[in-house]
Structure 1
Amino acid sequence: MIKQLKPSALSAQIEDMVEWLASYGSDNSGGVTRLLYDPAWSAAQKAVQAKIEHLGLTARYDDVGNLFGRLAGRDPEAKVVLTGSHIDTVTGGGKYDGAFGIIASLLAVEYLLTHHGQPLKPIEIVSLCEEEGSRFPMTYWGSGNITGVKDRDNVHHVKDANGISLDQAMQAAGFGSDLHPSPERTDLECFIELHIEQGEVLEREGKSIGIVSHIVGQRRYNITVYGESNHAGTTPMKWRRDAMFTAAEMIRLLTIRATADQSGLVATVGHMEVKPNVGNVIAREVTFSLDVRHSNAETIKQFCEACFSEFEIIAAQHGTQIRYHKWMDEPPVAMDHTLTKAAEDILKRGRISYKRMTSGAGHDSQIFGTHCPTALLFVPSQGGISHSPAEFTHTEDLQRGVLLLIDLLYKLAY
């Protein structure tokens, strides 16, 4: 299907566009910071809007700041083939996470319009306003509003680290005042997301493309251990109610159990708060995070229940108490078999190496996947590094992803 497309020209386009979009929110370390509704975010969305309009597409925002670029179809009754990713980043993130999916969609639709004209079904590019949860304690704000999973009425209490509410930030950026259409969509035929892997599997196995079959489910907790503060020098070890010692044993247990699991489960403790957090005082309170992921919801449930049962024993042995706060419970989501089979057939015909795989990271595709047929496609990440200025994918790999997206969109919309 692809014709008159010189690989060298496409490579140059990809490289230029990666640097172009990374310039919005760039810092001296080579990282990129675009947080929901901040000035860098606004500038990036406006730049993408200008690019959409330059291609001759119709650009529009919804009322939470998702940006769409529409290529109208010949069939007025046809539903929309949607493709894209998220524009926001973590603090000091890389150039490719989310951004590549937007860039690839722009390039793919530009090619299709130039060489094949108007499609049968409408194609829309989406630059989703938020996925990462970097500014506010929530995730998937963009895709969640489109699919009806989230709405503005339930987030009035949400604030960032500076005490600015989500409502305030949204309105300061020009959204949330009903000046734009409602974000919820009922006209989507499917969603296609092209993304960097953010892991090492494709690189280690020498595969060019990852076809995701499932996105793992996630449970996240804040777990607090309550003990008693006392003098570090005058309190004998056997009389202590040490919250830190208790938490350390719990974290060790988690790691041992997760390592012994042979089904792909992962468990991570990445954040800890200690009170009073003084070097010569026994800790009276320790809160640590817990992130558990697996492609099977029952496996996650059983792992957490088994660990928490042992936590109670450990807490009792140390004379401490424990409290659990579960703040995320996202079920695993299967990607659409028909779409993934279509991508697989394209790769087989082109003799491009690929791997069917599970995504250990969360993506907007898991939100869309419960709303409409969805496909998530990966290109390799060098060293598996992501959420870092060192995040990198070779241009050749990015190019293969764009070419796959062109063929897939042609199959779906033309």
Structure 2
Amino acid sequence: MKGHPQEEMLAQYGERMLLALEWLATFGADPEGGVTRLLYAEPWLKAQLALIDHMQSMGIKADFDEIGNVYGKLLGSDPSLKPILTGSHIDTVKNGGKYDGAYGVIASMMALGYLKAVYGTPKRTLEMVSFCEEEGSRFPLAYWGSGHVTGVLSLAEGAGLADPEGVTLLEAMARAGFEIDQGESQPAKRNGIGGYIEIHIEQGAVLEFKEKQIGVVTAIVGQIRMTIVVTGIPNHAGTTPMTMRKDALAAAAEMVAMTEKMAFAEGEPLVATVGRLEVKRGTSNVVPGEVEFTLDIRHTDERKMEAFRTELISRFVEIAARRELYIDTVEHLNALPVAMDSGISAEIEAACDFYGYEHIRMPSGAGHDAQLFGPICPSAMIFVPSRAGISHNPNEFTKPEDLIVGFQTLVHVLYQYGYGGKADENL
């Protein structure tokens, strides 16, 4: 920044950022202490509307796009320069923490507020975004927000998908007030984005273990998400001999155990998870006739990830055939591993050096919205430590001083691209 930044004002905005993060956690607060903000549900809508009001109170132009992403914009003086976008997702898992996604949304909003208050109009447009969805918690589809922005997803991918209560994604969208055919809102798909910068809690324990303040992400792992449906024959638990059973749950249990066994054999960095299993119409005295479970596979190497999936599914098919059952697989997500941009990452490291923050380069084992932006524009991520690596949990926690370190790093990088030495750079 120009000499030294306005340190007193920056400190004030850092404190305001912490308060705003607590404020956002009240939208969807659970009695157990966590936060539940699912796509298009009432707490989600109230949170997005509140963000718009908050940004407008700071003099930042803010509004929805057609699917419910919220943007805040500091319009630059040179419209020929492609904008820099920063932000994260507003949705949570069920009974999740108050930092995942929300920290990136609030830090980005307060960064734009600080830059406007101190430096006025940037040369390059700077935008923040609160993506409507990333987690895949309500519907079996992730990245609904950034997927539309990048053109990876469209309404067609949401057709027919329903939440556990039977409400379809498109019905929920309409109920929340987002009617695509109205033609009044900003189109979700964007072209000409100059770069994307996402700040996020690590959701792992590496930074805490290594006593580092900032992680500069080098790459994001690839991720496959699937639903597996095993179908047998429901029958009486007392009159059906073990040798005559077509037990879908027993087969699913064998498949889950096979997943763990093969993942251990493959070794790091591959991970495979069965996070949800549902016995359809299950009762204590009936042999289960249908079971559905999720499968999540992640790896930094696309080829190895796909090879593991292929081999694992073939084992599932063998288990089903041996037990004379049917198996169906549905893929909901296939996100390729994505390398982060070296240029923006270098600016993040320069910001850390400017402030004297301890930092390391590291991959991300979790999927993020930056993963979808990587193929279309220069993209980068900033990580701050997560206590004990806990996330997707009410006990998710990052120390306030670490949140402020990340915020100041983000501000410094955005300053460079909006006002400083990178403002004239064609991206």
What TM-score does the superposition give when structure 1 sets the normalisation length?
Answer: 0.91
**Aligned residue for 2:422?**
none
User: Per the alignment, in what secondary structure is the counterpart of residue 301 of structure 1?
Assistant: helix
Amino acid at match of 2:67: V
**Aligned residue for 2:66?**
63
**Aligned residue for 2:351?**
346
Amino acid at match of 2:52: Q
Report the Cα offset of residue 274 of structure 1: 2.7
Distance across 1 between alignment mates of 2:73 and 2:402: 27
Q: Which of 144, 148, 168 is 2:147 aligned to?
A: 144
Q: Deviations over 1:100-152 (max 9, x none)?
A: 11211122222222332322101111122222223333221221222222233
Q: 1:255-294 residue pairs with structure 2 within 5 A?
A: 255-274=260-279, 277-294=282-299
Q: Which of 366, 375, 379 is 1:374 aligned to?
A: 379
Q: 1:213-362 residue pairs with structure 2 within 5 A?
A: 213-230=218-235, 232=237, 237-238=242-243, 240-274=245-279, 277-362=282-367
Distance across 2 between alignment mates of 1:181 and 1:316: 50
Distance across 2 between alignment mates of 1:224 and 1:411: 50
Q: Which of 4, 12, 17 is 1:14 aligned to?
A: 17
| Residue 16 of structure 2 corresponds to residue 42 of structure 1 | no
Q: Which of 145, 167, 179 is 1:164 aligned to?
A: 167
Unaligned runs of 5+ in 2: 420-427
Amino acid at match of 1:116: Y
* Identity level (%): 46
Q: 1:110-125 residue pairs with structure 2 within 5 A?
A: 110-125=113-128
Report the Cα offset of residue 319 of structure 1: 4.2
Report the Cα offset of residue 231 of structure 1: 5.1
Q: 1:147-226 residue pairs with structure 2 within 5 A?
A: 147-176=150-179, 177-226=182-231
**Aligned residue for 2:87?**
84
Count of aligned pairs: 414
Q: Is the 8 A contact 2:232 2:246 kept in 1?
A: yes
Q: Is the 8 A contact 2:95 2:394 kept in 1?
A: yes
Distance across 2 between alignment mates of 1:237 and 1:159: 35
Alpha-carbon distance change, 77 to 219 in structure 1, aligned in 2, over 3 angstroms:
same
Report the Cα offset of residue 220 of structure 1: 2.0
Report the Cα offset of residue 356 of structure 1: 1.8
Report the Cα offset of residue 363 of structure 1: 1.4
Q: Which of 5, 15, 20 is 1:3 aligned to?
A: 5
Distance across 2 between alignment mates of 1:276 and 1:57: 51
Moved more, 230-239 or 147-156: 230-239
User: Per the alignment, in what secondary structure is the counterpart of residue 7 of structure 2?
Assistant: coil
Amino acid at match of 2:290: E
Q: 1:100-115 residue pairs with structure 2 within 5 A?
A: 100-115=103-118
Distance across 1 between alignment mates of 2:160 and 2:285: 37
Alpha-carbon distance change, 138 to 246 in structure 1, aligned in 2, over 3 angstroms:
closer
Q: Deviations over 1:370-410 (max 9, x none)?
A: 22111121111112222222221110110110011011111
Alpha-carbon distance change, 232 to 368 in structure 1, aligned in 2, over 3 angstroms:
same
